[in-house]
C-alpha cells in the first residue's frame, strides 16, 4: 500500500522525470561521442590502409609485380598482420588472369574504393578496406578488421550502461527519500483534517518552521481552521443566545396569552391582550433580527463591499435626523463635525452604529441632557464621538456593556434588549475601528476611531 503510494507521489514522479531526462541527455551525448570515435577511427584505419596501398603501389611501380608480392608477404609477416586475432590486417593481391597472387584473403571479385567485406573464418565482423588497381588487371585490396572499433564501441556502451544504471538507482532512491518525507508531512495534514472531521476542532497541523511551500500551505490551512473555529464559536454563541435569551420574552408572551385566556371577560379585554401579544411578538422579532445581524456582521463577509465614504456627511445627516427627536425627548443635540473626513466602510452599517450610540444617549439620560456628535482627525485617525452629560456608566461596567444582552444595572428597567452596543462593537470590529468609553465628567463619551481613507482626488 505504502509502496504504491510512494510511486504515485509528485516528488517521485519528478525524480523519475528528471532521471529520464538525464538519461536521454546522456544517451545523446554518448551517441555523439560514439559517432566521433567511429569516424575518427575509421579515418585512422583508412590512413593505415592507404599507407600500405601506397607502399605496395610504389614497390610495383619501381620493380614490378614480384616486388609487390614480396612487399605483401613482408607486410603480412609484420606484427600487426601476423596476429590473426588482433588487430587483424588483410591484404589480397590478385591478377585478372592468374587469380590470387598473394595475401591472406580468398580471391575476390574486384571492387574499387572503400568497402566492407565479411571477415574470413569468423561468423561475425567485417573487414573494412580499400580496393585499387595497381595496373590493368592487377587488383589490390588492403583492409583491417573492424573488431578493434567494436571493442571501443563496446566500452563506450558499457560506460553508458553503468551511468544509466547508477542514475536510475540514485533517482529512485532520491525519489523515495523525498516522497517519504513529503508523504509524512501530507499525512500530518490528513491526520489533522481527519481529527477535525472527527470533532477535535482544536487540532492544528504541526509546522516545521522551514517556511517552504508545504509549511506555508499548512499555516494557510491552520489560519483557515482558526477562522472557521471563530465562526463556529460565533454560531454557537448565537444559538445559545437564541435558546436562552429568547426564552424570557417568550415566557412573558405565553403568560400574557394564558392570562388573557383565563381572565378576559369582554371583547375589549381580548382585543387589548391580542394587541399586547402582537407588540411582544414584534419585540421578539426585533431581538431575533438584531442577533442575526450581529452574527452576520461578525461573519465578516460584508467587508468585501466596503467603499470610501464621507463620515462627515454621514454624521451631519444623522445630526439633522436626530435633532428633532432629541428636542421631543427634552434633550439638546449639538454637533462639532469636521468636514470632508472620509473612511472606508459600509454606509448602512456605520449609520446603524451611530444611530445606536445616539439613541442610547437619548434613551438612557434624563431630560435636559446635552448630547454632542463630534468628528475630528488626529494622526490620520478619524475619531467620531457621541458624548452626553447624563449619569454615565461606572468604570467597572464599561467593558461589559458591549456583551450581548448585558444591561447596565441602572437601566434594566428602561426599554431595550441589551443588543445595541453589542451590534456597535461588531460593526466597529468589522471596520477595524476601536471603541472607547470614557468619563465625560459628567456623563458618558463613546469614541469610535477608524483610519482615515485617502481622498479619491488626492
Partner 1 sequence: MNILLIEDDIELAQSLIGEFREQGYAVDHAADGMEGLRLASGQTHQVIVLDRMLPLLDGLSLVKRLRAGNVITPVIYLTTMSGIDDRVHGLEAGADDYLVKPFAFVELLARVRVLARRPAAQEVVTRLRAGDLDMDLLQRTLSRAGRQIELLPQEFRLLEYLMRNPNRVVTRTMLLEHVWDIHFDPQTSVVESHISRLRAKLNQDAEIDPIQTIRGTGYKLLAQD
Q: Which is nearer to partner 1, 187 or 327 (CB)?
A: 327
| Residue 98 DSSP SS3 | coil
Please tell me whether residue 95 binds partner 1 under the rule CB under 8 A.
no
Residue 204 CB, nearest distance to partner 1 (Å)? Answer: 31
CA distance 255 to 277: 10
Residue 363 CB, nearest distance to partner 1 (Å)? Answer: 7
Pick the stretch among 132-140, 166-174, 315-323, 336-344 that binds partner 1 (CB under 8 A): 315-323
Contact 242, 291 (CB under 8 A): yes
Q: Using CB under 8 A, which of 66, 233, 320, 399 touches partner 1? A: 320
* Phi-psi domain of 26 (left: phi exceeds 0; alpha: psi -120 through 50; beta: other): alpha
CA distance 41 to 129: 13
Contact 299, 234 (CB under 8 A): yes
Instruction: Find out whether the peptide bond into 437 is cis, omega within 30 degrees of 0.
Output: no
Q: Which is nearer to partner 1, 70 or 359 (CB)?
A: 359
CA distance 457 to 399: 39
**What is the CB neighbour count within 10 angstroms for residue 240?**
11
Q: Edge-to-edge strands of the sheet including 89-95? A: 99-103, 89-95, 138-145, 126-135, 113-118
Tell me which residues in 288-307 interact with partner 1 (CB under 8 A). 289, 292-293, 296, 301-302, 305
Please tell me whether residue 103 binds partner 1 under the rule CB under 8 A.
no
Size of the site for partner 1 (CB under 8 A): 30
Residue 318 CB, nearest distance to partner 1 (Å)? Answer: 9
CA distance 372 to 269: 45
Q: Which is nearer to partner 1, 180 or 299 (CB)?
A: 299
Q: Using CB under 8 A, which of 285, 308, 377, 395 touches partner 1? A: 285
Which x/- pattern, by CB under 8 A, does the window 400-419 give for partner 1?
Answer: ---------------xx---
Pick the stretch among 97-105, 163-171, 214-222, 324-332 that binds partner 1 (CB under 8 A): 324-332
Tell me which residues in 343-382 interact with partner 1 (CB under 8 A). 346, 348-349, 351-352, 355, 359, 362-363
| Axis crossing angle, helix 10-63 with helix 65-77, rounded to the nearest 10 | 140
Residue 191 CB, nearest distance to partner 1 (Å)? Answer: 37
Residue 355 CB, nearest distance to partner 1 (Å)? Answer: 6
Q: Where are the alpha helices (H) located in 147-266, listed in sequence order?
A: 147-197, 213-245, 247-263
Q: Which is nearer to partner 1, 232 or 292 (CB)?
A: 292
| Residue 337 DSSP SS3 | strand
Q: Are strands 89-95 and 138-145 parallel, antiparallel or unpaired?
A: antiparallel
Q: Which is nearer to partner 1, 219 or 296 (CB)?
A: 296
Please tell me whether residue 313 binds partner 1 under the rule CB under 8 A.
no
Residue 221 CB, nearest distance to partner 1 (Å)? Answer: 27
Please tell me whether residue 420 binds partner 1 under the rule CB under 8 A.
yes
Pick the stretch among 213-221, 229-237, 317-325, 379-387 that binds partner 1 (CB under 8 A): 317-325
Backbone angles phi, psi at 453, to 5 degrees: -90, 145
Please tell me whether residue 325 binds partner 1 under the rule CB under 8 A.
yes
Residue 186 CB, nearest distance to partner 1 (Å)? Answer: 37
Please tell me whether residue 327 binds partner 1 under the rule CB under 8 A.
yes
Distant-in-sequence, close-in-space partners of 389: CB < 8 Å, separation ≥ 6: 365, 369, 370, 371, 440, 442, 443
CA distance 54 to 134: 10
Which spans of this chain sit near partner 1 (rule: CB under 8 A)?
285-286, 289, 292-293, 296, 301-302, 305, 317, 320-322, 324-325, 327-329, 346, 348-349, 351-352, 355, 359, 362-363, 415-416, 420
Amino acid at each position: 500500500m505504502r509502496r504504491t503510494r510512494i510511486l504515485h507521489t509528485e516528488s517521485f514522479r519528478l525524480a523519475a522525470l528528471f532521471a529520464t531526462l538525464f538519461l536521454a541527455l546522456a544517451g545523446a551525448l554518448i551517441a555523439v561521442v560514439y559517432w566521433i570515435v567511429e569516424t575518427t577511427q575509421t579515418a585512422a584505419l583508412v590512413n593505415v590502409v592507404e599507407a600500405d596501398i601506397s607502399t605496395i603501389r610504389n614497390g610495383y611501380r619501381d620493380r614490378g609485380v614480384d616486388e609487390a608480392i614480396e612487399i605483401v608477404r613482408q607486410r603480412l609477416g609484420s606484427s600487426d598482420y601476423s596476429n590473426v586475432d588482433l588487430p587483424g590486417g588483410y591484404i589480397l593481391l590478385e591478377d585478372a588472369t592468374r587469380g590470387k597472387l598473394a595475401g591472406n584473403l580468398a580471391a575476390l571479385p574486384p571492387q574499387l574504393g572503400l568497402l566492407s567485406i565479411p571477415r574470413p573464418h569468423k561468423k561475425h565482423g567485417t573487414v573494412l578496406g580499400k580496393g585499387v588497381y595497381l595496373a590493368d588487371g592487377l587488383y589490390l585490396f588492403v583492409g583491417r578488421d573492424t573488431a578493434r572499433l567494436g571493442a571501443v564501441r563496446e566500452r563506450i556502451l558499457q560506460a553508458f550502461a553503468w551511468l544509466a544504471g547508477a542514475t536510475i538507482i540514485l533517482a529512485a532512491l532520491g525519489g523515495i527519500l523525498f516522497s517519504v518525507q513529503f508523504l509524512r508531512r501530507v499525512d500530518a495534514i490528513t491526520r489533522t483534517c481527519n481529527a477535525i472531521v472527527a470533532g477535535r476542532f482544536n487540532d492544528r497541523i504541526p509546522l516545521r518552521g522551514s517556511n517552504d511551500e508545504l509549511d506555508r500551505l499548512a499555516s494557510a490551512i491552520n489560519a483557515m481552521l482558526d477562522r472557521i473555529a471563530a465562526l463556529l464559536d460565533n454560531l454557537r454563541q448565537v444559538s445559545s443566545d437564541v435558546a436562552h435569551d429568547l426564552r424570557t420574552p417568550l415566557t412573558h408572551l405565553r403568560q400574557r396569552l394564558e392570562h388573557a385566556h383565563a381572565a378576559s371577560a369582554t371583547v375589549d379585554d381580548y382585543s387589548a391582550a391580542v394587541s399586547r401579544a402582537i407588540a411582544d411578538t414584534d419585540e421578539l422579532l426585533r431581538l431575533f433580527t438584531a442577533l442575526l445581524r450581529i452574527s452576520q456582521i461578525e461573519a465578516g463577509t460584508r467587508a468585501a463591499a466596503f467603499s470610501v465614504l464621507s463620515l462627515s456627511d454621514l454624521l451631519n445627516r444623522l445630526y439633522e435626523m436626530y435633532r428633532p427627536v432629541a428636542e421631543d425627548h427634552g434633550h439638546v443635540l449639538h454637533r462639532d463635525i469636521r468636514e470632508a473626513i472620509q473612511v472606508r466602510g459600509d454606509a448602512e452599517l456605520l449609520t446603524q452604529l451611530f444611530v445606536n450610540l445616539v439613541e442610547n444617549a437619548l434613551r438612557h439620560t434624563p431630560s435636559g441632557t446635552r448630547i454632542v456628535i463630534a468628528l475630528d482627525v488626529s494622526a490620520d485617525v478619524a475619531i467620531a464621538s457621541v458624548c452626553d452629560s447624563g449619569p454615565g456608566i461606572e468604570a467597572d461596567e464599561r467593558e461589559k456593556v458591549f456583551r450581548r444582552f448585558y444591561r447596565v444595572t441602572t437601566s434594566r428597567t428602561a426599554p431595550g434588549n441589551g443588543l445595541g452596543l453589542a451590534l456597535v462593537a461588531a460593526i466597529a470590529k468589522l471596520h477595524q475601528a476601536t471603541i472607547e468609553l470614557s468619563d465625560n465628567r459628567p456623563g458618558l463619551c463613546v469614541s469610535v476611531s477608524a483610519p482615515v481613507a485617502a481622498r479619491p482626488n488626492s
